Structure 1
Amino acid sequence: AGFPGPWSYEPEGLGWLRGFGGGLLTTCGLEHALFMAEDSVAQYNYPAFQTKEFGLHGRVSYLPARLTGYGERWDGDACTLWASGEVVQAAVFGEQFVLRRRIEAKLGESRLFVHDEVENIGNAPTPHMYLYHVNVGFPVLDDGAELLVPATNPQPRGGHSAEGYTRFHGPRAGYTEEVTEHAVKAEAGGTVPVAVVNRARGIGAYEVFDRAQLPHHFIWRMLGQGTYVVGIEPSTNATAGRLDAKAKGKLIVLEPGETRRYDLELGALAGAAEIDAFAARVAGCG
């Protein structure tokens, strides 16, 4: 897909896919995420703009970021490297959001931390949706790889079955994507550990997120030739999407000046001991 910019964003329908290159993390939002929907935007008080057609996963991943700082922090002999930036998603007679992100990594550790704040910097109450599209591919993903997740009640979103959705096979011709939504159990502190592991190779990739911040979780399986990837995706909203959330009173609306925070840990697992320890962590969720 190359490096997308705001000039290449296609807001209609599935146009978002033209700039989706995968990668470890694609952020979806800020005004909308998940599948397409048409909704009222009367809150902007512009007579010519009363409804809006929202395309897949929103605009934010196409917007340029501004570096706001970087450096190092020492705690005794331990060093943490950090960088911060911000993305503004705004329009006259439209949404006005800023996403402030700080990424931290401790020297000697195979993990990093993403800390996000989304603020409504406009003057109108504005709906907000957010999703971390965390993507795992080869060589972690391969025939025999497995998903470690403290899940209950898996529900397929489509015509497929949820049976065996935690086990992965090699690329197949003509494969149709599968999305499974499930409830997740959390650790004592409210965090949810999820990983894709390849025991044959002794490697894995994992995420840890806060269930209070992101109460929904999906598994996107695209095990086809050429596009071979699994998405492990925490979200503010269920796959039923924007209009369903709005009808149930679950669509987040940020008031002017209001901020929401999101925290995500991403890391690598190396060797059987680390994989087994993470599996025990998942099993310990209640």
Structure 2
Amino acid sequence: MDSLIKKGYIGNPAQLVTLRRVEVREGRAKGTEIIEVHTSGGLQLDILPDAGLDIGQVRYRGINVSWMSKNGYDSPSIISSHEMEFINSFPGGLLYTCGLRNAGPANRDKGEWHPLHGRYHGLQAEHVCANIEENEIIVKGIIRETALFGHVLQLKRVIRIPCDGARINIHDELTNLTPRDEEIMMIYHCNFGYPLLSEKAKLILPMERETIPRTEFAKTGLGRVCEFDAPIDGEEERVFFHKMWKNFCATLQNPDLGIQMNLSWSGDTLPILAQWRCMASGDYVLGLEPTNCYIMGRHNERENGTLPVLKAFGTVSNTVNIEFTDM
């Protein structure tokens, strides 16, 4: 941006880039703050401080690429109350972070109740700042999940977006601020929808992987993991777990639109890619979800010996990159 100003092409960065904080004034999302980002590379997205700096609706070159559920955005008072059932409040969006202490079904573990997919999305970010620095949009914030006499988990999130590009880099540092070990579960629930997702789309995954279906019905789709159907009334969802050893990446292409999405992540901390393939009419979505667990819920992961542990005063760093390009 600075170089374009110095060369005289523009006098105001807002000519090419939008970065502003707005508030929804009506409907069930009334009171929700949104950080709107538009880049000169054709990327438009909503960043949600009231929902842990997750990412809502996203468009690339004017084409919708994210999935929004029937629920849509909710107000901060509903999100943070934890009283709404997940099925009635899950908004979808490009990124819905699950955790920090449960991922998967609601369950009781060691006498403590854990809601479906945890409490993260209901936590409001603190110390939020959004700036344009040189040729990059940077949004930062801190999210804390705590309990009296219990856990203190602090997540520092930094989102970086090039002003002239269509790439989103999410970098999280999660720290256990107590003198005892704490089990953590995290899913970066990335959701893609129509028209990027359609029967014309194709998913490309690394060849070196092991694919595990979650249910017997999912097993029937093993031969078509990377293919999609037109919407089907009442179609049951399928979930697959992809264990990868290198090349932690996935690509979703739509030749009819001439665009593709490239997803990559830190495989050392997020060794599993969960794939949520739902072809149901009205709930038509592909979820690609880098995770550190098998999404069985805290209690079952403990019983299975797959519940990750963050050491006392330890920190773990996760990175997820999402980029949209022309084919």
When the two structures are superposed, what TM-score results if normalisation uses the length of structure 2? 0.71
Work out the CA distance in 2 between the residues paired with 1:97 and 1:240. Answer: 21
Write the distance in 2 (CA, Å) between the matches of 1:209 and 1:180: 18
Q: How big is the shift at 1:3?
A: 2.2
Q: Is the 8 A contact 1:127 1:251 kept in 2?
A: yes
Task: State the alpha-carbon separation in 1 of the partners of residues 128 and 281 from structure 2.
Answer: 40
Matched, 1:155 2:212: yes
- Residue 227 of structure 2 aligns to a residue whose secondary structure is coil
Q: Could you tell me which residue of structure 2 aligns to residue 70 of structure 1?
A: 130
The yes-or-no answer on 1:174 pairing with 2:231 is no
Q: Which of 87, 94, 98 pairs up with 1:28?
A: 98
Q: How many pairs align?
A: 250
| Range that drifts further, 144-153 or 225-234 | 144-153
The 2-side partners of 1:120 and 1:264 are apart by 21
Q: Which has the higher contact order (CA 8 A, sep 6+)?
A: 1
Tell me if the contact between 1:181 and 1:239 (Cα under 8 Å) persists in the aligned partners: no
Structure 2 unaligned spans of 5+? 1-70
SS in 2 for 1:153: strand
Aligned residue among 113, 118, 124 for 2:174: 118
Q: Distance in 1 between matches of 2:74 and 2:126?
A: 16
Query: What is the root-mean-square deviation of aligned Cα atoms in Å?
Result: 2.0
Q: Does 1:237 align with 2:288?
A: no
2-side partners of 1:197 and 1:10: how far apart?
Answer: 38
Percent pairwise identity: 28
**2:74 aligns to what?**
3
Equivalent runs, 1:1-286 vs 2, <5 Å: 1=71, 2-5=73-76, 6-10=79-83, 15-40=85-110, 51-74=111-134, 79-151=135-207, 152-160=209-217, 161=220, 162-187=222-247, 192-247=248-303, 249-271=305-327
By how many angstroms is 1:185 displaced?
4.1
Determine if contact 2:102/2:297 at 8 Å carries over to the other structure: no
SS in 1 for 2:319: strand
- Give, in whole Å, the separation in 2 of the partners of 1:31 and 1:268: 31
Counterpart of 1:168 in structure 2: which amino acid?
A: F
Indicate the SS of the match to 1:17.
helix
- CA gap 1:7/1:239 in 2 versus in 1, 3 angstroms: closer
5+ residue gaps, structure 1, are: 41-50, 272-286
Task: Compute the displacement of 1:244 (Å).
Answer: 4.6
**What is the Cα deviation at residue 209 of structure 1?**
0.4
